[in-house]
Structure 1
């Protein structure tokens, strides 16, 4: 599943630059055809080039008839959390791009919300022709759930109040299988599920009355991770002396979007960084060690 993570990150980076610009420029009350053309042409050309490159880079060699592959029992579903996070952020980007182009709000939400699904579905189709794996129904469901979560929030609040986020720390497990979990830091961030944590960060202040004294920049995040996963199947982990287990976290978080101002550079940085969980103290629970307090958790 490592190559899926590379593709997921690549497609997210594909749409981020335009979205960052959209975030720091004023919205228009009427449709801007030049902006809409720029968004459509730029996205279409880049997306086509990316799919062609992926097809040549990842899908060389023998191919089979289209088939499905059930990977829902692998890696304690950390890869599914990644698909949810990626599709959410891609759809969030799609909505902001259409808003920047002046597309009416309802249409921007509904059409832009499909971005995560549109970006991810062709990859699953490619996977369906590969002999060593295949199209994953659980991946499709995770992608759909991520996109739907954006649309639901935008329709309800015209804003994101519960933001999926990502964090990473290095682990000792990567050294056991560096060819699978990564030998360098940049590889481990993508490959080592043991060091990945996915969060849902709730903007508590947005749910309270305007006159509330609760600090608007302070969010509360719940996280999910897993550890002792050197192999994707449990028998392999147990044979190597590892006991894969899930981890659950509770931690304070910063609502970085609260700090937006007039600086385009600052707003662009905050937009991108808002996808990442800020290191903070965290309370962890897992079935092996029970409760554990991390003074600073990445």
Structure 2
């Protein structure tokens, strides 16, 4: 029996991301309070244990309810035998990069929440890495039992890569030097297939992969000597995007009249967490801003037009 995914099923990736973003918002409520404590003077007082217990219980209850609601609302047909589906050829793999970034952000935000409970940076990073993996896995398993979808090994690999990138940096360096980030701009392609790429702006930033760019933002000063003159807050970012994908598969996009291609970018960025400030409010704002790649002059290369320069790209 051949398992076939429809165009509607491919929007599942954006739905899953939307659900996980909801979880991120909830965890963020806990994590932002972590900026109010001095991370250099953690103790083992019982209140910290209570905080950790409360955080774990809260995450478990909220996420269990979310998974239950998803299983009832999205999986219309009864679950069947577990099976796989290979979707690695779809969307020029940018959806897999999106999985990685989402899992990374779950780990990053969760780590701040764990710091609030009194854990050291390394222990928080380990807990956060496990959280990023655990909170993605049940959704993928549900896909595996759904007759409409199937377990995607590619998705699962990306779900592992995100938390691994976060935790491994704290274990190796005790800090973040390489950070996945996200940017989005509107494209006119959604008008071709609004049901797939989104009819509203809110839908499009989740569904229209043509407008999404995923970045690895690297801090050069962290790899240099301490007396380096390179600004500590200035990053160099490499990005990946796609264009003319109006269907999940390249041949289907070509049939509709669009020839897809990949885009590669090189740009500057800002690591806001390396900007020193005593303001708790600014620390919170900087923490949130570090999810996004900042607009900056950008060099693009793609297989269709070669090199292009953008005075300001987001």
TM range, normalised to the smaller chain? over 0.9
CA separation in 2, counterparts of 1:24 and 1:207?
A: 29
TM-score, normalised with respect to structure 2: 0.90
Who is 1:26 aligned against?
38
Residues 7-66 of structure 1 show CA distances to partners (whole Å, capped at 9, x for unaligned) of 223323332222222244323422311221221122122212221222222123343221
Residues 52-97 of structure 1 show CA distances to partners (whole Å, capped at 9, x for unaligned) of 2222221233432211111000000111000110111111223222
Who is 1:13 aligned against?
25
Aligned residues of 2:111 and 2:124 also touching (Cα < 8 A): yes
After TM superposition, the structure 1 stretch with the greater mean CA deviation from structure 2, 192-201 or 84-93, is 84-93
CA shift for structure 1 position 260:
4.9
CA separation in 1, counterparts of 2:223 and 2:86?
A: 39
CA shift for structure 1 position 183:
0.8
Q: Secondary structure at the match of 1:128?
A: helix
Aligned residues of 2:77 and 2:147 also touching (Cα < 8 A): no
After TM superposition, the structure 1 stretch with the greater mean CA deviation from structure 2, 41-50 or 179-188, is 41-50
Q: CA distance change for structure 1 residues 270 and 104 in 2, over 3 Å: closer, same or farther? A: closer
- When the two chains are superposed, the root-mean-square deviation of aligned CA atoms in Å is 1.6
Q: CA distance change for structure 1 residues 6 and 234 in 2, over 3 Å: closer, same or farther? A: same
CA separation in 2, counterparts of 1:24 and 1:259?
A: 17
TM-score, normalised with respect to structure 1: 0.95
CA separation in 2, counterparts of 1:261 and 1:184?
A: 38
Q: CA distance change for structure 1 residues 99 and 158 in 2, over 3 Å: closer, same or farther? A: same
Q: CA distance change for structure 1 residues 295 and 104 in 2, over 3 Å: closer, same or farther? A: closer
Is 1:3 aligned with 2:16?
Answer: no
Residues 177-199 of structure 1 show CA distances to partners (whole Å, capped at 9, x for unaligned) of 01100111110000000000000
From 292, 298, 307, the equivalent of 1:282 is 298
Q: CA distance change for structure 1 residues 23 and 72 in 2, over 3 Å: closer, same or farther? A: farther
Who is 2:200 aligned against?
184
CA separation in 2, counterparts of 1:262 and 1:42?
A: 30
Who is 2:245 aligned against?
229
Who is 2:313 aligned against?
297
Count of aligned positions: 298
CA separation in 1, counterparts of 2:203 and 2:110?
A: 27
Who is 2:171 aligned against?
155
Q: Which residues of 2 match residues 194-233 of structure 1 at below 5 A?
A: 194-233=210-249
Who is 2:7 aligned against?
none
CA separation in 2, counterparts of 1:290 and 1:24?
A: 48
Residues 154-180 of structure 1 show CA distances to partners (whole Å, capped at 9, x for unaligned) of 101111111100000011111100110
CA separation in 1, counterparts of 2:186 and 2:223?
A: 35
Structure 1 unmatched ranges of 5 or more = none
CA separation in 2, counterparts of 1:200 and 1:211?
A: 25
Q: CA distance change for structure 1 residues 22 and 292 in 2, over 3 Å: closer, same or farther? A: same
Structure 2 unmatched ranges of 5 or more = 1-9
Aligned residues of 2:122 and 2:170 also touching (Cα < 8 A): no
Q: Secondary structure at the match of 1:114?
A: helix
